Copies of this chain bind each other. A is one copy, B any other.
Amino acid sequence: MRTEIASLGEFGLIDHLTKDIKLTQKSSIKGVGDDAAVVDNGENRTLVTTDLLLEGIHFDLVYTPLKHLGYKAAVVNFSDIYAMNGKPQQITVSLGISKRFSVEDLEDFYSGLKLACEIYGVDIVGGDTTSSLTGFTISITCIGSVEKRKIVYREGAKNSDLIYVSGDLGASYMGLQLLEREKSVFDGDKDFQPDFGGREYLLERQIKPEARKDIIQLLEENGIIPTSMIDLSDGLSSDLLHICNRSNVGCQLFEERIPIDYQTAAMAETFNMNVTTVALNGGEDYELLFTVPLHLHEKMSKLEAIRLVGHITPPEQGCYLVTRDGQEMQLRAQGWNPIADE
């Protein structure tokens, strides 16, 4: 018997393989199913998250400088720790490399890693470097820490909670579209100079994203602990559904409130794409999506850089996008990284 992986999809496959896993160790507080695993260490909680990045799937070296790739590979892991309301502190870095790469290439990659670690206050504490017969393979694990009482899971959202998002959405995806377009124009023309004028923001969001350490600090300074939180890696739609499913609640998300940058909107128009679809499903925003009790509304409204986008409803009401013209459309998960064909 052979069941194709595509028949389950990415999330279905993970669920299928991990559904019967039980936690047996006293120190295992939280396993599969959140941004990071949670380990009891007595005083605090240790957070552990890991990411595997494969050439041709997660990055294209044609338009990704290795220094930026190193920076991004680190930052996306930090983002997972922030999404638990924690502080990233250490990373381990495993690389699969082939003869195609020189020592200087790896120095570039490491310089990006180190820069990210310096900026975010994280140490590189270990890893593994091995040969690869194929592409460049990156596996990073990040260890973080958080006070017990401050940890935020995906599963704590309650009916009537307000839904907030940091920054703006869809820019990274439009940056990727732009890079893909220039790459295909570039093909076969050695002297081609890509035209990115005025689109720097989109490219930066794709190639050198930042994790929202500042938002975690802002919430802490204001004494706010979200009831649930996730980082936006798969896209607003997919990630909000993770919160709703884990929390066993519904939601209403208001289209007119989704924060979108001017450049994102302009680029979507150029590409003849619906900008709301881009913001909902684009992914790789690395913004924070979180819920807060209704009574904190006034306090929240004074914070810049975050935006109210909707509210949590009872589970039987389902998960909906309320469009500009008042229609309700069911939210659907569309990860940006389906199990690809070989």
Residues of A within 8 A of B (CB): 1-8, 10, 13-14, 16-18, 21-25, 27-28, 30-32, 34, 36-39, 41-44, 46, 48-52, 54-58, 89-90, 92, 94-104, 106-107, 110, 114, 121-135, 137, 139, 141, 143, 145, 337-342
The number of times this chain is found in the oligomer is 2
Q: A17-B110, A18-B124, A44-B42 are in contact. Are A90 and B1 (CB under 8 A)?
A: no
Check if A52 sits within 8 Å of B123, measured CB to CB: no
Contact A133 B5 (CB under 8 A): no
**Knowing A106-B13, A110-B17 touch, does A28 contact B134 (C-beta < 8 A)?**
no
Contact B139 A24 (CB under 8 A): no
Bound together, the chains give a CA A98 to CA B342 distance in angstroms of 6
Contact of A339 with B97 in the complex, beta carbons under 8 Å: yes
Residues of B within 8 A of A8 (CB): 103
Of chain B, the residue at the smallest CB distance from A20 is B114
29 contacts between A and B (CB under 8 A): A4-B102, A10-B131, A16-B103, A17-B106, A17-B110, A18-B110, A23-B125, A24-B121, A25-B90, A25-B121, A28-B89, A28-B123, A31-B124, A32-B125, A37-B92, A37-B126, A39-B89, A42-B43, A48-B92, A48-B141, A50-B50, A50-B92, A52-B128, A57-B131, A92-B141, A98-B342, A130-B337, A131-B340, A133-B342
